Amino acid sequence: MDELSQVDLAFCVDLTNSRAPFLRAAQQHVVRILEGLRATARADLRVAIVGYRDHAHEQDGSPTEAHDFTDDAQATRDALFALRIGSPPGNTDAAEAVVAGLVACVQQLAWRPQSYRVLVLVGDGPPHACGADAQPWPDRFTERDPSGSSLEEIADELAHRWTIVHAMGMVPSSIVQHDAVLERTFRRLAEVTDGAWYPARDAGAAMLVVEAVARKVFSDVEIDRQVWVQLAQSYEAADAEAPAASFGAAPAAPAMMAVPGAAPAAVQASVARLHKRGLVK
């Protein structure tokens, strides 16, 4: 079934001044990495990009820009080159509009209902209202992000929408006093959504993380495809009179399965993913 191959991959990227080296590397390498991997994988890949900076003033709303999903490599490349680095007037603290960027990913991107949903968060500043109160440049918004959402709320929303967050912290940052808060909050996002935390010292290391995440996603999709076939065959064997279409939407899981080259834990994780995506009962 077509939904098994669907991958929606979004990048949520800090566009403040310190992230210029990462953006240049992304413009040069991200599309090449993804296209190279897609050539060897049976995946229907779409890519979206959301950039965030910081709030100039509390009443200004969300300082984000969003480029919706596309399966066209040139459109992805164009979106990357359309991004502009900059910090707004009044950006006098180390925290950034991370929460606003994540809210934009949820509200402004057209995720497919049953796709494998992955969000790669890249930043070197912690979210607002998460305890980044140390000197120098303590958080201006200590109670709540001006977007109206909190880190825990957006993390729960992403988990509810079955969106896996791989959170990449560019550390050590230029303001190392706040790196502990960044790691704690980025780890929390990853844990709540079944993703992973990745520290990266520079743009080159960040590109290696992007490649590793993409490889894992495409590997997961291949395992999911094999697991789903076994589930479908199990359903058919249990009800020989049921036509193929009847198990095409949601086969039931047998007690034991094995996929060549995949550990039992990976197979169990696949069944859980298929369930969350609505592809198995």
Q: Are 45 and 27 in contact (CB under 8 A)?
A: no
Distances (CA, A) of 275 to 51, 116, 129, 213, 244: 31, 11, 34, 21, 19
Enumerate long-range contacts of 132-136, CB under 8 Å, 24 or more apart. 132/93, 132/94, 132/95, 132/178, 132/181, 132/182, 134/177, 134/178, 135/177, 136/94, 136/175, 136/177
pLDDT of residue 244: 38
> Where is average pLDDT lowest: 58-67, 144-153, 191-200, 269-278?
58-67
Q: How confident is the model at residue 254 (pLDDT cuts 50, 70, 90)?
A: low
Q: Which domains does the chain have, with CATH numbers?
A: 2-217 (3.40.50.410), 220-276 (no CATH)
Most confident of 44-58, 88-102, 169-183, 224-238: 169-183
User: What pLDDT digit, counting tens, does each position of 262-271 carry?
Assistant: 999 999 999 9
User: What pLDDT digit, counting tens, does each position of 151-201 carry?
Assistant: 999 999 999 999 999 999 999 998 999 999 999 999 999 999 999 999 999
**Percent of the chain residues past pLDDT 90, beyond the cut:** 77
Average pLDDT over all residues of the chain: 90
pTM, whole model, 2 decimals? 0.91
Cβ-count burial of 46 within 10 angstroms (0-12 exposed, 13-18 middle, 19+ buried)?
buried
> Where is average pLDDT lowest: 11-15, 59-63, 66-70, 135-139?
59-63
Asked whether residue 1 carries a pLDDT value surpassing 80, the answer given is: no
> Where is average pLDDT lowest: 24-28, 85-89, 159-163, 196-200?
85-89
